[in-house]
Amino acid sequence: MDHHLSPDRRTFLGGTGALLAAGCAPRGRAAPQDPLLFAYFTGGKGEALGLKLAVSDDGFAFRALGGGRSFLVPQVGEARLMRDPFLFRGPGRDAPWHLLWTTAWDGETIGHATSRNLIDWSPQAALPVMAGVAGTRNCWAPEAYVDPATGLVTLFWSSTVAGRYTETAGTSESDYNHRLWRTTTRDFVRFTPAEPMYDPGFSVIDGTLARAPDGDLWLIVKDETVKPPRKWLRAARATGPAGPFGPLSPPFTPSWVEGPMTAIVGDRLICYYDIYRDGRWGAMATRDMIRWEDVSARLTMPPGARHGSLVRVPATLIAGLEA
């Protein structure tokens, strides 16, 4: 059955109701020394204000672009919010930028839009990624992984589904009990059925895939367990976005953090995270994903910045945004 979403169509295949959707890739890929662009939202009423952007030349000092204005105001989804924006470029030539985001605290959709310059955007779509999975409560913090060899795009997010993973029921706030879910697409029109991506044996949110300095792929997740309180980040080596995944590392951050995002800065991977109860950010650096150094004291983040994503972009794009 086809579901029609103005202005374009998303096709859901199979009984679990996942989607298939499209994206191509850019000319002028960023180089390792190019600026880091931080896509984020601000809390409270800022959830409805939309996409904020900041830039850093050194990976530590970030300054807001456009005077802190919104570059995209959310218009779709159950609550028309924008939380946890994830910015990426697809495979192939001349791909636009893609943006994914959380549209509501409770619901079965994620937001999606594309842009060539991060100023002018396509019509937004609420992708009902979990519409065919009975008992779905939420879709949080969507991200994407583009396979460099095949161009296949994997979208993944966290969902609580009633009646599943009962062994950890009641271990998160408000009876949430999350696992990571995924779908794949080549064109952002057709999507494979949504399926579980990662079950570490506890309630898990905010999954992100990161390339370590040696080129290996890692999955970083937040242990969302509150009874007993954990709320920290851990990492597992990943063969690919569908796994298999290696053993989880010990926690490498304090408790009560969320929203991991990563970038290679020099010869180290930096994992940035939102210390949301304190209204500030932290960062840990590593060369081997085993030994971590706290580099939080070097960070300067935009006021009120919350969970977002990082991507290196050509300096010409930043010049356009500033103009």
* 274 CA to centre of own chain: 13
**Residue 191 has which token pair?**
């999507």
Residues 213-271 pLDDT 10s? 999 999 999 999 998 999 999 999 999 999 999 999 999 999 999 999 999 999 999 99
CA angle 244, 246, 251 (to 5 degrees): 135
Structural contact between residues 162 and 108, judged by C-beta atoms closer than 8 angstroms: no
Residue partners of 297: CB distance under 8 A and separation at least 6? none
What would the mean pLDDT of 30-47 be, rounded to a whole number? 88
d(CA 121, CA 39): 15
Across the chain, mean pLDDT equals 90
**Percentage of residues of the chain with pLDDT beyond 90:** 83
Non-local (6+) Cβ contacts of 319 within 8 A are none
Structure tokens at 70: 């919104």
Scanning 8-91, the segments in alpha helix (DSSP H) are 46-49
| β pairing state of 52-56 and 18-22 | unpaired
Asked if residue 176 has pLDDT above 60, the reply is yes
- The pair of structure tokens assigned to 298 is 């070097």
In sequence order, what DSSP letters do the residues of 55-75 get, joined into one string? EESSSSB-EESGGG--SB---
CA 158 – CA 177 distance, rounded (Å): 9
More confident residue, 144 or 45: 144
Q: Which residue has the tokens 């079965």?
A: 108
**Neighbouring-strand partners of residue 24:** none
**What's the CA gap between 192 and 118, in Å, rounded?**
28
Mean pLDDT within 294-306:
97
The more confident residue out of 94 and 261 is: 261
The pair of three-digit structure tokens given for residue 278, joined into one six-digit string:
């304190």
Rounded Cα distance, 176 and 227, in Å: 12
CA angle 125, 323, 262 (to 5 degrees): 60
Containing H/E element for 8? strand 8-13
Q: So what's the pLDDT on residue 91? A: 75
pLDDT band at 30 (very low <50, low <70, confident <90, very high): low
Q: pLDDT tens digit string along 183-209? A: 999 989 899 999 999 999 999 999 999
Check whether the bond before 247 is cis (ω within 30° of 0): no
Give the residue among 198, 200, 210, 190 at the shortest CA–CA distance from 284: 210
Class of domain 2-23+32-322: mainly beta
Above 90 in pLDDT, residue 32? Answer: no
Do strands 18-22 and 187-191 pair parallel, antiparallel, or not at all (unpaired)?
Answer: antiparallel
The rounded distance, in Å, linking the Cα atoms of 252 and 294 is 9
